[in-house]
Amino acid sequence: MAKARTRYLCSDCGTSTAQWVGKCPGCKAWNSLKEETITDSGKRAHRYSTASPQGGVLTQKARPLAEVTIENIMRLSSGEAELDRVLGGGVVPGSLILLGGEPGIGKSTLMLQVAMMVSASGAKVLYVSGEESPEQVRMRAQRIGAVPKSLMVLPETRVPMVLNALQEDQFSLLVVDSVQTLDQPEVDGAPGSVSQIRESVAAITAYAKSFALPVFLVGHITKEGSLAGPKVLEHMVDVVLQFEGDRNHAYRMLRAAKNRFGTTSELGIYEMMGDGLKAVENPSEVLLGEAGEASSGSAISVALEGARPLLVEMQALVSTAVYGTPQRSGTGFDLRRLNMLLAVLEKRCGFKLGSFDVFLNLAGGLKISDPANDLAVVAAILSSSLDLPLDRDTCFAGEVGLSGEIRPVARLDERMSEAARLGMKRMLVSGHGKRPPTPKGLTLVPIKRVSEIQRVIF
């Protein structure tokens, strides 16, 4: 019998050591090494044989790059326009797409929706559910819509069984919910462990690549917000998608953290409804529609998320601090940036906010980290502390520098068109740099320093 040994694997980078150490020698992470048993029985040998166990050809000959043709690479539509856009125009055959997100955000719902859309045209789709029973999946599908005949569900966690099921039929798409439940019997360790995830995904990758089968993998994330499991997982797959949002809000954002077939700047916005996820076509309208009438402390920012201009409402509340140390909190906005803006307001505008609590909220539960939001944040803070509402048809796009200067922002023309489209009349922008022609109905108000804002907006 093969001798069992133990080794330690880093859950971040996959480095293996013979002994436990507190700090990973590979990625220098603390406390990331986990013990795993290995039984040596020469199982790696089959990987070097010329044919894969499934019959596909794994060996390739070197050939001139110029002779590699790309015309016949077709992208399949996932049936979800937003998802297709985030992927860069559809699903590439043979690609592995990892979808990560917090529990309850809607990963399984999105995957089932995609599976239903693809199979609605008659294409066979295999939905491997390691977390839910077929009955649970059916119940969910019932909420979403008509269940196509060619959608197959397989409650299975063992990788060889999944591969067997794939061989029984010609599938056009495989969905695995989730990678953390996958179990590769020839590898030691419990499902979800570093080596299990790595080997399971490697086996599926080998199959997918040799049969040009697109695969969606659902991945859990840790409480720190990174994908659970080894970092190598993210290296192994072609696309890493993040599904984020606030569970208490209906809106969800889908973006690519890595994409071998397109940009990572596209953004998809979904709303969770009673019958599944619905793409939000005009996010600005929806987000502004929630705003209601003008009140102090609210300013509209023309942000750019990925390649998409979005009008979002920034809400600030400035109130006297009653408990000693003033509080600062930002939802959907970086707290350090908020503190920086407050310091700039104090130093460059003489606004003393040191004894006030400052709260900042991005409406809709979205998280947007565009520096162009600075100007709207400053305006919202001023508006709240002076208790003067701003016009509902004024919007902002500018970055605030440490010396109080307003810096120009990227792609102003796209932001302006979006603002004009939504009926904005005035847009405060940086007075520095070039400004493209203004669309009809919109007036640009260039300002050079934060100290000018007050004069212009009230």
Residues contributing to the site for Mg ion (CB under 5 A): 108
The number of angstroms, rounded, from the C-alpha of 30 to the middle of its chain's C-alpha atoms is 26
Q: Which does 7 bind (CB under 5 to 8 A by kind): Mg ion, ligand TYD, none?
A: none
Between 101 and 401, whose beta carbon lies closer to Mg ion? 101
Between 108 and 298, whose beta carbon lies closer to Mg ion? 108
Q: How far apart are the first and last CA of the chain?
A: 82
Between 272 and 338, whose beta carbon lies closer to ligand TYD? 272
Question: Could you give phi then psi for residue 174, rounded to 5 degrees?
Answer: -125, 130
Question: Among all residues, whose Cβ is closest to Mg ion?
Answer: 108
Q: Which does 275 bind (CB under 5 to 8 A by kind): ligand TYD, Mg ion, none?
A: ligand TYD
Between 132 and 246, whose beta carbon lies closer to Mg ion? 132
Q: In the structure encoding, which two tokens stand for residue 224, read together?
A: 């720190």
388-393, long-range: CB within 8 Å, 24+ apart, which pairs?
388/296, 388/458, 389/294, 389/295, 389/296, 389/298, 390/294, 390/296, 390/298, 390/299, 390/457, 390/458, 391/294, 391/425, 391/426, 391/457, 392/291, 392/293, 392/294, 392/300, 393/423, 393/424, 393/425, 393/426
Q: Which does 105 bind (CB under 5 to 8 A by kind): ligand TYD, Mg ion, none?
A: ligand TYD
User: Closest approach of Cβ 274 to ligand TYD, in Å?
Assistant: 5
User: Closest approach of Cβ 34 to ligand TYD, in Å?
Assistant: 24
The percent of the chain in helix, strand and coil, each rounded to the nearest 5, is 30, 30, 40
Contact (CB, 8 A) for 236 and 96: yes
* CA separation, residue 333 to residues 14, 287, 337, 416 (Å): 33, 16, 8, 22
130/413 Cα distance (integer angstroms): 47
Q: Which does 274 bind (CB under 5 to 8 A by kind): Mg ion, ligand TYD, none?
A: ligand TYD
Between 179 and 288, whose beta carbon lies closer to ligand TYD? 179
User: Closest approach of Cβ 12 to Mg ion, in Å?
Assistant: 24
User: Closest approach of Cβ 117 to Mg ion, in Å?
Assistant: 18
User: Closest approach of Cβ 416 to Mg ion, in Å?
Assistant: 41
The residues, ordered by sequence, that sit 6+ positions from 365 with a Cβ below 8 Å of its Cβ are 245, 246, 248, 249, 251, 331, 332
User: Closest approach of Cβ 131 to ligand TYD, in Å?
Assistant: 8
DSSP 8-state secondary structure symbol assigned to residue 256: E
Q: Which does 106 bind (CB under 5 to 8 A by kind): Mg ion, ligand TYD, none?
A: ligand TYD
User: Closest approach of Cβ 238 to ligand TYD, in Å?
Assistant: 21
Between 108 and 394, whose beta carbon lies closer to Mg ion? 108
Contact positions vs ligand TYD (CB under 6 A)? 101, 103-109, 140, 143-144, 272, 274-276
Between 98 and 187, whose beta carbon lies closer to Mg ion? 98
User: Closest approach of Cβ 321 to ligand TYD, in Å?
Assistant: 37
379/388 Cα distance (integer angstroms): 10
Between 144 and 321, whose beta carbon lies closer to ligand TYD? 144
User: Closest approach of Cβ 86 to Mg ion, in Å?
Assistant: 19
Q: Which does 283 bind (CB under 5 to 8 A by kind): Mg ion, ligand TYD, none?
A: none
361/316 Cα distance (integer angstroms): 6
Q: Which does 92 bind (CB under 5 to 8 A by kind): Mg ion, ligand TYD, none?
A: none
User: Closest approach of Cβ 404 to ligand TYD, in Å?
Assistant: 43
Q: Which does 423 bind (CB under 5 to 8 A by kind): ligand TYD, Mg ion, none?
A: none
Q: Which does 118 bind (CB under 5 to 8 A by kind): Mg ion, ligand TYD, none?
A: none
CB atoms within 10 A of CB 174: 25
Between 80 and 199, whose beta carbon lies closer to ligand TYD? 80
Between 136 and 319, whose beta carbon lies closer to ligand TYD? 136
Tally DSSP H helices, then E strands, for the chain: 11, 21
255/263 Cα distance (integer angstroms): 10
264/103 Cα distance (integer angstroms): 23
449/225 Cα distance (integer angstroms): 37
Decide: helix, strand or coil at residue 271. strand
11/13 Cα distance (integer angstroms): 6
